[in-house]
Structure 1
C-alpha cells in the first residue's frame, strides 16, 4: 500500500476514533452510572446535607402537605392553626438523620419507578407516593405537641415525576444508550488501534491519537458545562436553581472526572511521544560518524 494512502487511511481512522471518545464516555456514564440504582443512590446521598437541597425539599414537601390540608380540612380551624408550623417542621426535619434515611429511600423509589417504567414498555406517567414523608412529618409534629397535628391527613398522594409523553422519549433514548454504552468505547479503541497499525509513521499516529483524545476530553468537559447552564436556565423558580445545580454537579461528577482524565492522559501520551522522538533523534546524531573530508567531492575552481 502506498505511503500516502496509508497515512490518509490512518488519519481517517484516528479522527473517527477521537470523535467517538466523548460520545462513548457519555453513553457509558448514563448506562453504568445513572441507570444503576445503587450508584445513583450513593451519588445522591451526600446531597441530603446540602442547604440548597434541603430548602428545595422543604418547600416542595411543605407545599404538598399544605395543599392536602386545605383540601381535607377546608373551613376548619385546624388548618389555620397547623399551617404556620408545617414549614418550620419540614425544614427542621430536613436536618435530621431521619431525613437522610427518607432521602435515600425517596431517591431509590424514584429511580426504581423511572427505570421500571422505561423497561416495562407501558404507556403511563411515573409517580411517587408522598405518604411516607408526610407520616414522618406528622409524627414529629405530634411528638412536639403541636395543636391539631394529629389531624394532618396521611394519604397515598401520588406526586408526578415523569409524564407519559416524556417517558416515551426517554425509553427510546434508553434503548439507544443501552447499545451505545458498550459499543462506542469499544469501537473507539478498535479504530484507534487500526489507525496506528496502518500508519506509515506509528509514533506520529500515536501522537495524533493522544492529542485527539485530549481534544475529545475537552469537548466533553465543555458539553457538561453548557449542559449545566441550559439545565438551570430551564428551571422557572430561581430559588430552586442552587439545589438543581448541586444535583447536576453531583450526577456529573464522574463525567467531569473522566473528561479531565482523558485530557491528562492524552497530553501525557503526546508529550511522551514528542520527548522520545527528540531523544531518539539526538542519539542518532551522536552515533552517526562524521563525513571523511578526503572522500568529499572537490569544488571546481574557476
Structure 2
C-alpha cells in the first residue's frame, strides 16, 4: 500500500479505485454545476431586486390608496364642519370673481354689438350693466358652490 507521499505508477489504479474514479468525474462536473448555480443565483437576485419594489408598491396601493373607507373616515369630520364649508364656498366664489370681470365682459359685448350696428346709446346702457353682471355671476357661483360643498 503506497503512502500518500509515494507516487503511483502510470496506469496503476489508486487504492479504492472505483470510488475515486467516480469522484474525479464528479469534480470535473462540479465546475459546470457551480457555474449553473452562480447563474441561477444571479437570476434570482435580480428577480428579487425587481419584484420586491413592485410587490411593496402593490401592497401600498391596495392598502392605502384604494381604501375608500379609510379616506372617508379621515375626510368626513372636517368636511362636515360648517366653518370649513363656508371657507370653501368663499374661496370658490373669490376664484370665480377674480376670473370674471363684469365691466370688461359688458364692455366687450357692447363693442361687438356696436360693430354689428347697435346704436351708441344702447351700447352705453349695456356697459352700465357691468356691476349687475358681476353680482349675478357671484350669486350664481355662490349657489352652485354651496350645493357642491
Task: Give the TM-score of the pair, scaled to structure 2.
Answer: 0.34
Task: Give the TM-score of the pair, scaled to structure 1.
Answer: 0.19
Which structure's CA Rg is the greater one? 2
